[in-house]
Structure formats: structure tokens, C-alpha cells
Amino acid sequence: MGNDTRFTRRNFLKGTGVAAIAMAGGALAGCSSGGGSATAATEPASGSASVAWTKEADVVVCGYGAAGASCAIEAAANGASVIILEKAALPGGSMARCGGAIMGAPTKIQQALGIDDSADALYDWVMTCTDGTCSKEIARAYADVAGPNVDWLDALAEEYLGQPCFEVAMAEANSAVDEGRHNGAVGGCLDATGCEYEKFGVKQEEAVPRTHWATASPDNTANSGPELFDPLLACIEKQDNIEAVFNTALVKLVTNADGVVVGVEASGPDGTVFYKANKGVMLATGGFPAGLEMQERFCQDALDYGTYMCKDCTGDGVLAAMAVGADLYNMCNYYPIEVAQQYHYNVQYNDVYNSWDMDADGYMEVPAMNMAETHGGLVINTDAQVLDVWGEPIPHLYCSGCDTGSNIFGVPGNYPGCGCYVSFSFAFGRIAGKHMADSEAVA
């Protein structure tokens, strides 16, 4: 199936001959998540007689990666109680395995290094890279908050770790050494990498530096994803109104008779559990780079690729949303890595974050034909609300990160630059958190 083709749940069901059953609430044959079918559990509109809730909170976040963590922090900061459900035994998701970069403009780091940039310029660059396949509204909403989110992460690091996330002084010291490359801002915390600039008529040395790199590990390991996630983890662990539950996978969404998402059914160590969400559910389960069944259904081009990122990202959030009528977009969009690579990580994080395959010295071999993440998934609006096949918001259902098809990638391979997906996850994660905290609770 074509990479650019709009793929809706309605068209998929029509093609398989089960549209009438599924639209009436029946199961999608073979679409399972965490051992359960993809149908939605339903409770009466007037109460919870049919569901024995294990716990409840204002906001339930499914997934403890970049999108889920940023959503939880923002919701809690605006007065909401939050439960994070994480499928794995440890937090971090794909973000803890990433290179440690986040994109944004304008930022305090750019200003300190003399880089003149703006949200408008970032928006124009995203629209150039996506070649018209990205929603202008989504790109605009992203560009407007991407820069402030970099500053927000740096402020979290100062507050909860007692040190900045980005070493401006190191970049200043190196800028003279590397003058003429990436506008001179390189070697500490800011550069312009990860994009085939020439493809868009931009020389590498003329590219605007928007990629902010977290401070390197003490042992100088090359990748610093954990350092990027550390401020989020430290913040969440000190919040009284955020609870993290591990080894617990999303199975289904629970809706009331009015179609409002009121909670989730999950699979935990002791079996089936139900979490009530008074103000909303956030889907941040990381897409489906490790989801063979999802790839067979929606992206057969990816079947020859493994994944070196999060092995728990099998499409749970996308499947659960499909069962309540969510629309899909750009499903066969993923980030391929064609050649073998070697990564070096700090071994101190082996028992802190999820998805590590490194040896005793911190080295991990990544074979050829691998993928970092999938970029196709659910359709959202600028409030991060998940939309149904008719373009209407599914009440109290939100999404960000790799579960989202409405993103800033468009044509597969047109990567705007290192750190753009962490940045996107933060953008709509925080938007969703604020929106849910401010929304009216379901009775």
C-alpha cells in the first residue's frame, strides 16, 4: 500500500467486509492488544455499574515516554490527579533510547549563542520538509510551542536536578573552533543535524541550528537520551498527584453510553484492572515499531525491518482507539535505518530506563534494516484530541507521540532534523495535559 495514502478505519473495515459489525461495537478480528480484543468496554452513562474500577484519577496516561511524561507533568501542574500506566517494568520508552536531542525555536540557548530564529521560521521549515502532507494547523500548533518546550525542559532540570539540561557554556567554548559549520553553534548543545538539507535546497553550513542536545553522560558516551529524560523522571517522582503503575498494558478503552471515554481496561501482573479517568485518557504507547501484526495489516513495507528502540511498542494505543471509531493517517510511515551501527550508552541507566540491549561496557550493536519508530497513527486536532472517521473529536480521548499520524513528518524520509519527534511528543503531550486538566469531569 502506498506510503502517502490516507487510510481510514472506515475504508479498512469496508475492505474487509466487517464494517457493519465493527461500527456497531464488534471486535476487529485479529486486532488484539495485551491479550484482549480491540472492542471497547462500555459502562452506563449514569454510573459504573458494569465496571469495577481499580482506581481513578482525573487523567489516565497510557505510556511513560516523552509524550506520556510531558502530558502527566502538565496535567498535574494544572491541578489534575494523574495515573500513568506503563507496559514495561521501567519508564522512558523510546525517548530514553534516543540520541538525546530536542528541536525548537526560538529558545534561550539559541539566543545565548547568537542564533536568530523564530517559530514562524520553524513552521516554514516543517512545511517544506513535509511536502504538503502535514496539516498546516498541526504544524503551526507545534511550531508555536516547540521553543518554549525546550526552555521548559531546561527549567525542569535546574529545578529537580540542580543543573541545566543543555550546556550553553560548552557550546560557547566550541563555537570558535567549529566556526563556519552549522553557523558556528556546535560542539556542546546546539547544531543542525539529522536532515538531508541539500534535498531542500539548503547547504549544510547554512542550516539554522535548532537541535538541542542534552548534556553528555559523565563517561562521554555518545548518546544522551537518558539525560534528556532525567528531568521528566525527577519531576514526576516528586509530584504527589502523579502515580506511575508499571507492567500494566492498555487493552481497551472504556466508554459510557454517550460515547465518552471514561477510563481504560488494562492487563497487569494480577490480571485485568480498570482505571477510571474523570477528565480524559491520553494515548502515548509509542506506535508499532515492534508490532508485527500492525505492520502486516497497515505497512507491509516495514516487515523486513526490526527495531532497536522500544520492544514494547506494538500498537496498543492505536488499536484501542480504532475500536472506538478513531481515524488513521499515513500508516506506512516509519524511520528506516539501512546500515549497521554501533551505539554507546552509559551503563548506569541499565536499571533505570526501559529497552536496553547493551553489553557490560555500554555498547549496543544495531544491525542493518532497522527502524527507530513508526510515524503513522491516529488523527488529532490542535488540542491533541483524537478524531473519529467523521472528523469529530472522540470525547475525552487524546494522543501524542508515535501513536499519532497527524504529525510533522509527512512523506517518509523527510526528517526535519534531530530531536523533532521528541519535540513533537512534548508539544501535543503538554497541550493534551493542559486541555484535560481544564476540562469538565464526567459524572
Q: Quick one: pLDDT at residue 170?
A: 64
**In this model, does residue 2 exceed pLDDT 90?**
no
Confidence of residue 137 (pLDDT cuts 50, 70, 90): very high
Confidence of residue 337 (pLDDT cuts 50, 70, 90): confident
What percent of the chain is predicted at pLDDT more than 90? 58
Query: What grid cell was written down for 341?
Result: 551501527
Of 153, 147, 94, nearest to 421 by C-alpha is 94
Q: Quick one: pLDDT at residue 216?
A: 65
> How confident is the model over 229-244, as a mean pLDDT?
97
d(CA 299, CA 99) in angstroms, rounded, equals 26
Q: Quick one: pLDDT at residue 26?
A: 29
- Residue-averaged pLDDT of the chain: 84
pLDDT tens, residue by residue, 147-183:
999 999 999 999 999 999 988 776 665 554 444 444 4
Q: Quick one: pLDDT at residue 308?
A: 80
Domains in the chain, CATH or no CATH each? 52-438 (3.50.50.60)
Q: What angle do CA 129, 130, 133 make, to 5 degrees?
A: 160
pLDDT tens, residue by residue, 280-309:
999 999 999 999 999 999 999 999 888 888
Confidence of residue 354 (pLDDT cuts 50, 70, 90): confident
> How confident is the model over 353-373, as a mean pLDDT?
82
Which H helix or E strand runs over 211? strand 211-213
d(CA 26, CA 159) in angstroms, rounded, equals 49
Query: What grid cell was written down for 305?
Result: 525491518
Which of the 8 DSSP states describes residue 198?
G
How far is CA 332 from each of CA 1, 6, 35, 433, rounded to the nearest angstrom? 8, 10, 24, 28
